[in-house]
Amino acid sequence: MAKSSNTRLKYGLIAIGVAIVAFLIILIVQSPTTSNPNATDSLAPKSLVSKLTSITADIFNKVGLGTSTTLPKPINGPSISVNGKPQVVYLGAEYCPYCATERWAMVIALSRFGEFSNLGTTHSSTTDVYPDTQTFSFHGSSFTSPYLVFSPVEMYSNVAQGNGYATLDKPTSQEQNLMNTYDAPPYVPSSSSGAIPFIYFNGKYLVTGATYSPSVLQGKTYDQIANALTNPNDPITKGMVGAANALTAAICGVTNNQPASACTPQIKAIENQINAQ
């Protein structure tokens, strides 16, 4: 009788052990990995990128500065040129709605000087202001240009982790020092110290935060946003292309106004307006 009881106990313990192991396996399979917590949805379709890189000169000229709210700020910082090319550094994060807004304008502006590859699509945090803003991600992308070096850093994904978001790209010590120095008073108000996106134009200009209103992108899909760029009177175009023209002017300011196809007379006029601040 005792032997029978021991046998039942033995097999009962084995069954419990098997159930625990099975439960742990299910947890592991179903739990999201944090070893590479990239929330980038996928590579941006070529058709989408093409809509941003084929904006006509007529649209750029009609919009001008549009409804962009902030011009790049002139500064006197150290040059960070690479192999003789001026460098533009961007520090942002995938969760950030202001970064999501600014990336659209940045892709438009930078594409006038070179070509992106492996741009991703993503969205801002669904729990922050301007939630779920559809956008691009610079994580894993590359940019080729004969005129400048673009160094993007997406510091965090939009994947919640603890009290914040999962880490993506780590800034170099130089990039972190630039942000610590120029994303703080006296270059920006103390109330916006540490704001992202942070864009450093080779020691000559500075951008912190979005330069047009994120509200124009709310509730819009990628295609709805991109398709609006053929209408110079659309609020999206007036904000985004206006901001892109301002960013283009800042880039022209560090490339010695090259190429002429990007640094047009209108862009040079905006550059003069930036420098006069």
Q: What is the mean pLDDT of residues 157-178?
A: 96
Domain edges within the chain: 1-31, 42-275
Q: Which residues contact 103 (CB under 8 A, 6 or more apart)?
A: 92, 135, 136, 137, 138, 197
Query: Where do runs of H (alpha helix) occur along 91-234?
Result: 97-110, 173-182, 222-227
Confidence of residue 29 (pLDDT cuts 50, 70, 90): very low
Strand-by-strand arrangement of the 87-92 sheet: 73-74, 205-208, 198-201, 87-92, 149-154
* 273 pLDDT higher than 60: yes
What are the DSSP calls for 29-59, one per residue? HHSPP-SS-----EEPPHHHHHHHHT--HHH
pLDDT tens figures, 38-85: 556 689 999 999 999 999 999 999 999 999 999 999 999 999 999 999
Quote the mean pLDDT of the chain.
Answer: 89
pLDDT, residue 10, reads 47
Pairing of strands 149-154, 87-92: parallel
pLDDT, residue 37, reads 45
pLDDT tens figures, 80-100: 999 999 999 999 999 999 999
Q: Which range among 11-20, 39-48, 65-74, 181-190 shows the weakest confidence by mean pLDDT?
A: 11-20
pLDDT, residue 148, reads 98
Strand-by-strand arrangement of the 120-123 sheet: 42-43, 120-123, 134-137
pLDDT, residue 40, reads 63
Q: Which residues contact 183 (CB under 8 A, 6 or more apart)?
A: 193, 194, 195, 198, 208
Pairing of strands 198-201, 120-123: unpaired
Q: Global pTM?
A: 0.85
pLDDT tens figures, 195-240: 999 999 999 999 999 999 999 999 999 999 999 999 999 999 999 9
* 128 pLDDT higher than 90: yes
Q: Are 176 and 169 in contact (CB under 8 A)?
A: no
